[in-house]
Amino acid sequence: MELLANLAKGFEAALAPEPLLFCFIGVTIGTFVGALPGVGAMAAVAICLPITFYLDPMVALIMLAGIFYGAQYGSSIASILLNIPGTVTAAVTCLDGYPLTKQGRAGPALFITTITSFVGGSIAILLLMCFAPLIAAFALRFSSAEYFSIMLLGLVAGSTLALGSPLKGLAMVVLGVALGIVGTDINTGMSRFTFGVLDLRDGLNLVAVAMGLFGVAEILASVGRGRTVVVDPKSINMRSLIPTRQDIRESIMPTLRGTAVGSAIGALPGSGAVIATFMSYALEKRVSRNPAKFGRGAIEGIAAPEAANNAAVQAAFIPTLSLGIPGDALTAVLLGAMMIHGIVPGPQFITEHAVTFWGLVASFWIGNVLLLVLNIPLIGIWVRLLAIPYHLLYPATLFFICIGVYAINNNVFDIYTAIAFGAIGYLMSSYQYPAAPLLLGFILGPMMEEHLKRALLISQGDFMVFLQRPISLTFLLVTTLLLLLAARPFFKSALARTRAAQL
């Protein structure tokens, strides 16, 4: 069993004192920022990224990844207790979680979401262990045409499989790709879109852009909205957590269905946990024999989406680690962190950095077990945290964003970049233009341009190269299918109008 031997090697690496300590720090920070509304995992990564420069690359990845999946555990706490999602991926959990709190069943709700999170995460890690090496081995044969097509698929999936207008998502993805052009062209050395600004010659800083769009913009959208809510932390203790036997029975199948939806969506490059939670909630409502109870405290309504978001976050590592193509906006930032640490993401990563890969996988298991401990016996700590008033929290978050972004290159220009993208992100979210596709496009854009150029150089300018290679053709067909699905409402309304005209 090569898999088990590899995993054993991974555990050996991940159970050393330093990785173990930073795994613990990572998941704790993750739970912390997940639990606090208005502070996302993205902001936590900006704060921690400069710290990880002093660490071994594997330890750095373990810690940053721990923040990502740890945040998924913490985020359901505020949804259930306050009706405010801790992060966007827990928005659906509010629908049935808060009614449960009003019925005095907050304890079992918190317990169930932690367990389903664990189950969803674990199954997705199993999938990661089994499939990532296979996909990577397969992808070693990919040429530029395949890479271009799968990145295109990722971008289209990320912008159309989302909430709201798919057209806005597509526009933002193109804008993101365009932002990736800024800087020196690697083929000719020509400066593009730098407008004579020297600081732009190396392009816009990824972390600064991400921090602006997700950290600063989030705060701009939350301050002054008056959402300080007081919870009674004493009401949540170990005994109150224990669910009834019926709760457990009712959450088994939804957890498994949520995990399936989450793993599938998460593993698809580009599309992330948010849409997975909404889809799994909709699925539960459809298969339920009693759909009327949803929104009134249905256990299925919290079990499925929480399993889905944890599965999606873990499954997002499949394309990220096996192809070097991010599964969602968060793993996109993680890829950026890998590159800062001098690791080139791509199909050769798993073989060339076998210890790092398997150590990271082993740390996922360790981290998820640590999260069980953090979220069940120690739940009271996080509940008390919710009582921190936002007017103390947001200046602190702004400070951490600024100093974190500055410390990456010791460059004030990066702070201005974050400020500018904060304002842009705020305007975008005000008109419901999504920020995640923009970031995804920004990261994949330069790689796409490179692969497009190379594919066309080899084919001597013939676009048919993308259709003649079967794998590339498959990716493009799936892309077309996604675009047609997204365009369906337009056809429907056009059809309705012609029918109305005929009558």
Copy the structure tokens of residue 298. Answer: 């249905």
How many residues line the site for other proteins (CB under 8 A)? Answer: 62
CA distance 45 to 211: 9
Minimum CB separation of residue 307 from other proteins in Å reads 30
> Which of 2, 4, 141, 225 touches other proteins (CB under 8 A)?
225
Minimum CB separation of residue 309 from other proteins in Å reads 25
> Which of 129, 132, 216, 330 touches other proteins (CB under 8 A)?
216
CB-CB neighbours of 392 under 10 Å: 8
Stretch that binds other proteins, among 64-72, 214-222, 240-248, 286-294 (CB under 8 A): 214-222
CA distance 188 to 421: 28
Nearest Cα residue to 269 out of 442, 153, 176: 153
Copy the structure tokens of residue 32. Answer: 């912390």
Using rule CB under 8 A, residue 178 touches other proteins: yes
CA distance 20 to 369: 12
HEC per residue, 113-127: HHHHHHHHHHHHHHH
CA atoms within 13 A on the CB side of 1: 8
Look at the alpha carbons of 495, 500, 501, 503 in this order and tell me if their dihedral is positive or negative: positive
Minimum CB separation of residue 413 from other proteins in Å reads 9
> Which of 58, 219, 304, 444 touches other proteins (CB under 8 A)?
219
Using rule CB under 8 A, residue 168 touches other proteins: yes
> Which of 224, 239, 290, 470 touches other proteins (CB under 8 A)?
224
Minimum CB separation of residue 203 from other proteins in Å reads 14
Amino acid type, 435: A
> Which of 43, 109, 132, 177 touches other proteins (CB under 8 A)?
177
Q: Is 5 exposed, middle or buried (0-12, 13-18, 19+ CB in 10 A)?
A: exposed
Q: Which of residues 423-462 bind other proteins (CB under 8 A)?
A: 423, 426, 430-433, 449, 452-453, 456-457, 459-462
CA distance 282 to 301: 9
Stretch that binds other proteins, among 23-31, 115-123, 148-156, 413-421 (CB under 8 A): 413-421
Using rule CB under 8 A, residue 402 touches other proteins: yes
Look at the alpha carbons of 115, 117, 120, 121 in this order and tell me if their dihedral is positive or negative: negative
Nearest Cα residue to 147 out of 499, 480, 475, 503: 475
> Which of 11, 131, 138, 406 touches other proteins (CB under 8 A)?
406
Using rule CB under 8 A, residue 497 touches other proteins: no
Report CA dihedral (170, 171, 176, 177) to the nearest 10 degrees. Answer: 70
Using rule CB under 8 A, residue 194 touches other proteins: no
Look at the alpha carbons of 397, 46, 57, 74 in this order and tell me if their dihedral is positive or negative: positive
> Which of 7, 223, 229, 372 touches other proteins (CB under 8 A)?
223
Collapsing DSSP to helix, strand or coil, 163 comes out as coil
Minimum CB separation of residue 348 from other proteins in Å reads 26
Using rule CB under 8 A, residue 305 touches other proteins: no
CA distance 183 to 202: 5
CA distance 262 to 275: 9
CB closer to other proteins out of 10 and 158: 158
Q: Which of residues 238-277 bind other proteins (CB under 8 A)?
A: none
> Which of 412, 484, 495, 496 touches other proteins (CB under 8 A)?
412
Q: Which of residues 31-50 bind other proteins (CB under 8 A)?
A: 50
Minimum CB separation of residue 82 from other proteins in Å reads 18
Longest Cα separation, the chain: 75
Binding mask 342-381 for other proteins (x = CB under 8 A): ----------------------------------------
Nearest Cα residue to 186 out of 450, 443, 457: 450
CA distance 433 to 172: 7
CA distance 53 to 232: 40
> Which of 29, 44, 64, 175 touches other proteins (CB under 8 A)?
175
Using rule CB under 8 A, residue 138 touches other proteins: no
CB closer to other proteins out of 293 and 454: 454
Nearest Cα residue to 317 out of 302, 344, 335: 335
> Which of 4, 190, 198, 500 touches other proteins (CB under 8 A)?
190
Residue 183: beta bridge partners?
192
CB closer to other proteins out of 169 and 327: 169
Alpha helices in 386-434 (DSSP H): 390-409, 412-430
Q: Which of residues 475-494 bind other proteins (CB under 8 A)?
A: 489, 493
CB closer to other proteins out of 344 and 396: 396
Stretch that binds other proteins, among 121-129, 244-252, 308-316, 417-425 (CB under 8 A): 417-425
Contact yes or no for 242/274 (Cβ under 8 A): no
**Residues of the shown chain interacting with other proteins in the complex, contacts defined by CB under 8 A:** 50-51, 54, 165, 167-168, 170-171, 174-175, 177-178, 181, 185, 187-188, 190, 192-193, 216, 219-220, 223-225, 390-392, 394-396, 398-399, 402-403, 406-407, 410, 412, 415-416, 418-419, 422-423, 426, 430-433, 449, 452-453, 456-457, 459-463, 489, 493
